[in-house]
Structure 1
């Protein structure tokens, strides 16, 4: 005799598919040159297409023109909040963004005023992941200028109930420490992580124009070239910006700790931990030096995850006073 498990929560969540999350929302600002400049500086994108009298906005800024900030949008409906309330009440109190997809139909230019509609496109069946059990929720936003559809943005999150940590006795009865999240390795970044395993920090270099880039991408954002090789970073850098993480707590980490945007001597930037000084001594402009650390040593037979090697940046001894304050979150 078979047993049919009915997911009553999932059935209720499915009723939200197709419901509007925002109707006739308006961007708070027209497409404008200062935001384009700030975006390009943050991304290190020097393409001439994004400057000058004929400038267009970088396509990946599509969502930026629709963001409501802390005050939100007048076009927002209550459907998304109702959906989240149902999930929270069922214990799915944690959320993680999993991926987004964008489709671009025409470039946005300074002066364009965007409007948008958003819909809850789909809610998955109940899924169990390493993080916990919950539901994937996908929202689709259609972005327009006047009557013309200029782009579509799909954003997917996992709303889940956190999995309980396994507390298996080891040695003198102590529980095992939570593992650090493993990086998502794919065909575009596999070479980077292979280099890290060898204690090398590799930077992609376009073989057409010589532009260095990080993080790793399938194509050059300066000339569009698809061919590349790598150069090894010297390991010297400075703290370009940073935040101090206090919340939310995560079992594998001990807040507060500093996360820095490190500008390497080669001119590209990488996000990593800043070590060697207390979190409240980290400053913009501090000289740092690359080192590699091993985390999560095997706990014994049957341990599924091997050790994890990560690049971190140590503040050079005696150089703490060289930076300037700012960037603390």
Structure 2
């Protein structure tokens, strides 16, 4: 039997379930009630006054919520839906995803209403090809009632599919560290790093040192400046250990330190040469330059020794 013939035979068996009941005379686990309405509105961010206080009604979009069976399920459920799923599972369509739903509202539901419902297998599509894989769309229709009166109809559609086989991905190239943002205000700093020099700005008027680089002095406002080269000596002023979230090109856990340079300014950089859990405030460190990749070199600080 060819694949096309097999699918045609399977479809004939599946479509025979159209019109069969999936649940008959199901009963809502709880009457329509204000606490559930309140929880729903809080989750949805819906503050409409119609849904609270005396005379409140349930939001129409809660229609399906009153029919849910929870972990214990419902009485009145038929075997037809399970049989339909078993046929698809056996044929290899073992995965399922919800695709969409449609609701029609005929009467508002009010606190105290006792909900009953009937569910029917409304349709089974012909075999479809999707990005997830080949499969069949199955639509059920649930009529929700209060007494003999239909309050609304809920159509729910799922795709039962066989996961598509995809060729193995070629290994990704080693991730590279993010590129620093270089602009006219900090270009001189990165030129210094390329020459293995850590340059600190110095105000041309009040001689205050500043880091990171800025277009003007925070102390006197002067826009005049020159640079001094850091000796490379420093201490760990504070630090954090990064565990999460993981980020490409970084392998947590690792230590990120706020380094106080001998010149008095502070900068953030990695602390290397010591396990992350051995980094301590006050630990002496020394500047070195890390070749991250063929284009990027970064200043980091090597611990002078363990506790």
| TM superposition score category, shorter chain reference | 0.5 to 0.7
- Please state how far the C-alpha of 1:165 moved relative to its aligned partner: 1.3
Map 1:201-220 → 2, pairs under 5 A: none
1:53 corresponding residue in structure 2: 54
Task: Give me the whole-angstrom Cα distance separating, in 2, the residues matched to 1:277 and 1:134.
Answer: 36
Match of 2:110 in 1: 109
The 1-side partners of 2:73 and 2:97 are apart by 20
Q: What residue in structure 1 maps to residue 146 of structure 2?
A: 145
Query: 1:72: which partner in 2?
Result: 73
1:163 equivalent in structure 2: 164
Deviation at 1:86, TM superposition (A): 0.5
Q: Which runs of 4+ in 1 moved over 6 A?
A: none
Contact (CA 8 Å) 1:167, 1:175: kept in 2 or not? no
With over 3 angstroms needed to count, the CA separation of the structure-2 counterparts of 1:101 and 1:90, relative to structure 1, is same
* Contact kept in structure 2, 1:23 and 1:117, CA below 8 Å: yes
Match of 2:130 in 1: 129
- Aligned pairs for 1:182-193 within 5 A: none
Q: Deviations over 1:131-179 (max 9, x none)?
A: 00110000000000000000000000000000001226x5xxx489xxx
Deviation of 1:276 (Å): 4.0
Matched, 1:30 2:7: no
Q: Distance in 2 between matches of 1:96 and 1:141?
A: 19
Distance 1:128 1:76 in 2: 31
In structure 2, the residue matched to 1:295 is none
Matched, 1:20 2:8: no
Q: TM-score of the superposition, structure 2-length normalised?
A: 0.54
CA RMSD of aligned residues (A): 2.0
User: What TM-score results when the alignment is normalised by the length of structure 1?
Assistant: 0.51
Partner deviation per Cα, 1:18-64 (whole Å, 9 max, x = no partner): 00000000001000000000000000000000001010000000000
* 1:41 and 2:45 aligned: no
Matched position secondary structure for 1:162: coil
Alignment of 1:296-315 (within 5 A): none
> What secondary structure is seen at the aligned counterpart in 2 of 1:7?
helix
The structure-2 alpha-carbon separation of the partners of 1:16 and 1:175, relative to structure 1 and needing over 3 Å to count, comes to: farther
* 1:90 paired residue number: 91
Quick one: distance in 2 between partners of 1:161 and 1:66?
29
Structure 1 residue runs without a partner (length 5+) = 177-274, 279-329
Q: Against the structure 1 CA distance between its residues 90 and 175, is the aligned structure 2 distance closer, same or farther, given a 3 Å change threshold? A: farther
Q: 1:9: which partner in 2? A: 10
